[in-house]
Amino acid sequence: MTLFWQIAIGLGALAIWEWGWALHDKVPWLVPDILDPYFVSKPSEIYRQFLRMGCLVSSQGDWTLGTPGAFEKCIGRSENNLWIATYFTLKNTLWGFATGVSSGFVLGLLLGRSDRLSEIFYPYITAFNSIPRIALAPIIILAFGIGDASKIVTAWLVVVFLVFFNTFEGARAVDRDHINAARLLGAGEWQVTRTVIVPSTMAWLFASLTPAVSFSLIGVIVGEFIGAEHGIGRMIIEAEARGEAAGMMVAVFVLMIVGVILAAGVRRIQAYLLRWRPASTMAT
Amino acid sequence: MQNTPPRSRIEIDRLRKIFLAEGREVVAVDDASFRIDDGEFVALLGPSGCGKSTILNMVATLIAPNGGAIRVDDAPVVPGRPIAQVGYVFQKDTLFPWRTVEGNIGYALELAGVPTGERKTRVAEAIHQAGLDGFDRFYPASLSGGMRQRVSLMRTLIARPEILLMDEPFGALDTHTKLDMHSVLLSLWERERQTVLFVTHDLGEALTLADRIILMSARPGRVKADFKVDFPRPRDAVKLRETPQYAELFSKVWHSLGEEFAKGRSA
Ligand SMILES: Nc1ncnc2c1ncn2[C@@H]1O[C@H](COP(=O)(O)OP(=O)(O)OP(=O)(O)O)[C@@H](O)[C@H]1O
Ligand SMILES: [Mg+2]
């Protein structure tokens, strides 16, 4: 039943998008201006544009997959076609995610377990955290150039704080009794860290992974908006410059798919690594 | 026949502990003294809040006393320096939730660097002794309270501590599960005859398990009386309760204990 409504709503929205504008001249009060295909294109047009941008049909309108070599030729013609752009965006997102998560985790652990360090760094962290990270993107592009590095740094910057704060909280919340139990069972300082503090902090880290991967993608796209050679963000900017609503929409849809796949992947890893938690507290 | 004097394993001498709670001083333990000999099973009995856990935590080096001395195997205890031959079973559930039954029980062996092969055998044996066969790969979250307590017990016992501190390990269990656990503990103890200091406020439990009952007064905790429990061993946790000797000793200690509970309420 739920599925029925989900499909019905989806099809309904697509139908309004596709044909709604046709009613605009007759009943203008019913159809808002935003449905103008000049801004939002139309599903059918977006689909055709997707086939062209993805080199699935040639400029003549034939399927490339039927003709040997046609697909490669089409791909070779452009510096930033759909596949290359997706590859670069995905790659930089994952790098930003990986570096942000690992450095945020280590920093959070260090400061969370040391009252001295956390006292010293507290004002700096609060100050930095008050800056909207995206505001730094132009500076980063200036400093690191328009290549991959600047995108990774931007993504890292948005991810690292999120992960840091979660890990920090988690490191403070480690159960004293677990530490005592480990000590009395013979654990030394380092063994306590490795076998108690890290695993119990992990639970908090994981709670931040799903937002972290989305943040990383946002960081990369913003970086690409400002200056890039490849990537879906650049693709959107180019389409905008040519006034191609369909092109922008294709890029947005690809981003949506990328985002869904990344989030689902992270959730699977998370569910596996947190399998020891009782089902009722799996909410995060 | 010559009698060698029994070796002292735990000695507590005029131990004091004062806590500061919201600007107020709480005397938790006041001049408590006792001695436990090798192989003795001693129950520390007293009303809630009389400082039983505090004494155990001091012996286990988790907190520092404000006065007096503790000696384990004739060596003074230094707070923060756990003693290798002492094992502690906590009042609270302190199993590592991210480790399986197997992982929790084998933890101490892992720390000690026992080779995987030997570790596996010893863990499997411990799981069997605790009656947890088939639950090796379960996480604590999916075990019952009684099972978790058995895992806790084996996690401590696997390192073969000669001295065992137990803080109301079965306090949260229902009567049946508790009796069950008494049988498990007694049969394990019969084999190794560890020196045990067992905290409880359940008189029946103390009589079932111990050779001696040290009765503590209501807060501030001090030692009020020391009873010998000379029921023959090996004991049957259930049948023992039906003997007249049990009933007699029960009522004797009960009166003493009753006075302390009454004091605890009026304090
Ligand atoms: N960390 C602490 N800070 C302040 N007061 C404490 C602390 N730990 C214990 N106390 C106080 O010391 C007294 C003795 O506590 P303790 O936990 O040793 O009692 P207990 O005999 O183990 O009681 P129960 O049978 O309920 O476990 C109590 O009044 C308690 O409030
Ligand atoms: Mg207690």
Q: Is the CB of B27 under 6 A from ligand 1?
A: no
CB contact under 8 A, A276 and B60: no
B214 touches B228 (CB < 8 A): no
Q: What is the pLDDT of residue B265?
A: 67
CB contact under 8 A, A185 and B108: yes
Q: Which tens digit of pLDDT belongs to each residue from A207-240?
A: 889 999 999 999 999 999 999 899 999 999 999 9
Shortest CA distance to B89 belongs to which of B120, B119, B53, B113? B53
Q: Which tens digit of pLDDT belongs to each residue from A107-133?
A: 999 999 988 999 999 899 889 889 998
Read off the pLDDT band of A60 (50, 70, 90). confident
Q: What is the pLDDT of residue B2?
A: 59
Residues 6+ apart with CB under 8 A from B194: B39, B161, B162, B163, B164
**In a mutational test of the pocket of ligand 1, which residue from B19, B214, B263 has the highest number of ligand atoms less than 8 Å from its CB?**
B19
Read off the pLDDT band of B264 (50, 70, 90). low
Average confidence score pLDDT of chain B: 91
> Closest residue of A to B143, CA-based?
A278
| d(C-alpha A16, C-alpha A281), whole Å | 41
Shortest CA distance to A81 belongs to which of A71, A94, A66, A68? A71
Name every chain B residue with its beta carbon within 8 A of the beta carbon of A184: 60, 62, 82, 86-88
Q: Which two tokens stand for residue A32?
A: 């808002």
* DSSP conformation letters of chain A: -HHHHHHHHHHHHHHHHHHGGGGTTT-TTTS-GGG-HHHH--HHHHHHHHHHHTTSB-TTS-BGGGSTTHHHHHHHH-SS-HHHHHHHHHHHHHHHHHHHHHHHHHHHHHHHH-HHHHHHHHHHHHHHHHS-GGGGHHHHHHHH-SSHHHHHHHHHHHHHHHHHHHHHHHHHT--HHHHHHHHHTT--HHHHIIIIIHHHHHHHHHHTHHHHHHHHHHHHHHHHHHS-SSSHHHHHHHHHHTT-HHHHHHHHHHHHHHHHHHHHHHHHHHHHHTTTS-GGGTT-
CB contact under 8 A, B142 and A187: no
Q: Which tens digit of pLDDT belongs to each residue from A66-83?
A: 777 778 877 777 777 889
Phi, psi of B162 (to 5 degrees): -85, -25
The pLDDT of residue B177 is above 70: yes
Q: Which of A170-174, A272-276, B98-102, B165-169 has the lowest mean pLDDT?
A: A272-276
The count of other CB atoms within 10 Å of the CB of residue B239 is 9
Residue nearest to atom 25 of ligand 1 (CA): B48
Q: Quick check: helix, strand or coil at residue B260? A: helix
Shortest CA distance to A140 belongs to which of A248, A70, A228? A228
B216 touches B45 (CB < 8 A): yes
Beta bridge partners of B196: B41, B164
* Mean pLDDT, range A186-211, rounded to an integer: 92
| d(C-alpha A87, C-alpha A33), whole Å | 35
Query: Domains of chain B by range and CATH?
Result: 8-85+161-266 (3.40.50.300), 95-160 (no CATH)
Q: Which tens digit of pLDDT belongs to each residue from B73-101?
A: 999 999 999 999 999 999 888 999 999 99
Average confidence score pLDDT of chain A: 89
Q: What is the CATH number of domain A82-277?
A: 1.10.3720.10
Neighbour-count burial of A148, counting CB atoms closer than 10 A to its CB (0-12 exposed, 13-18 middle, 19+ buried)? buried
Q: Which of A185-199, B63-77, B170-184 has the lowest mean pLDDT?
A: B170-184
Calculate how far, in angstroms, residue A167's C-alpha sits from the geometric centre of ligand 1.
32
Ligand 1 atom closest to residue B57's alpha carbon, by position in its atom list: 18
| d(C-alpha B16, C-alpha B66), whole Å | 5
Q: Which two tokens stand for residue B39?
A: 């192989």
Q: Which of A29-38, A186-195, B146-155 has the lowest mean pLDDT?
A: A29-38
Q: What is the pLDDT of residue A279?
A: 65
* Mean pLDDT, range B21-31, rounded to an integer: 90
Q: Where are the domains of chain A?
A: 1-31, 82-277
> Closest residue of B to A278, CA-based?
B141
Calculate how far, in angstroms, residue B172's C-alpha sits from the geometric centre of ligand 2.
12
| d(C-alpha A118, C-alpha B84), whole Å | 34
Q: Is the CB of B178 under 6 A from ligand 1?
A: no
Q: Quick check: helix, strand or coil at residue B258? A: helix
In this complex, the residue of B62, B96, B141 whose CB is nearest that of residue A277 is B141
Cα A69 to Cα A51, B47, B213: the distances in Å are: 17, 87, 90
The pLDDT of residue A54 is above 90: no
Contact A33/B at CB under 8 A: no
Taking a 5 Å cut-off on Cβ, the residues next to ion ligand 2 are B 53, 91
What number of CA atoms fall less than 13 Å from residue A109's CA on the CB side? 17
* Closest ligand to the CA of B44: 1
Beta bridge partners of B221: B29
Residue entry with tokens 């020391």: B226
CB contact under 8 A, A186 and B62: no
Q: What is the pLDDT of residue B267?
A: 54
More confident residue, B151 or B238: B151
Rounded to a whole number of angstroms, the distance from the CA of B185 to the nearest CA of chain A is 19
| d(C-alpha B267, C-alpha B252), whole Å | 24
The pLDDT of residue B15 is above 80: yes
Residue nearest to atom 12 of ligand 1 (CA): B28
* Closest ligand to the CA of B201: 1
Q: Quick check: helix, strand or coil at residue B41? A: strand
Contact A58/B at CB under 8 A: no
Neighbour-count burial of A238, counting CB atoms closer than 10 A to its CB (0-12 exposed, 13-18 middle, 19+ buried)? middle
| d(C-alpha B71, C-alpha A43), whole Å | 82
Q: Which tens digit of pLDDT belongs to each residue from B110-134?
A: 999 999 999 999 999 999 988 899 9
Read off the pLDDT band of A282 (50, 70, 90). very low
Shortest CA distance to B173 belongs to which of B198, B205, B128? B205
Name every chain B residue with its beta carbon within 8 A of the beta carbon of A277: 97, 141
Name every chain A residue with its beta carbon within 8 A of the beta carbon of B86: 184
Cα A148 to Cα A141, A232, B4: the distances in Å are: 10, 13, 80
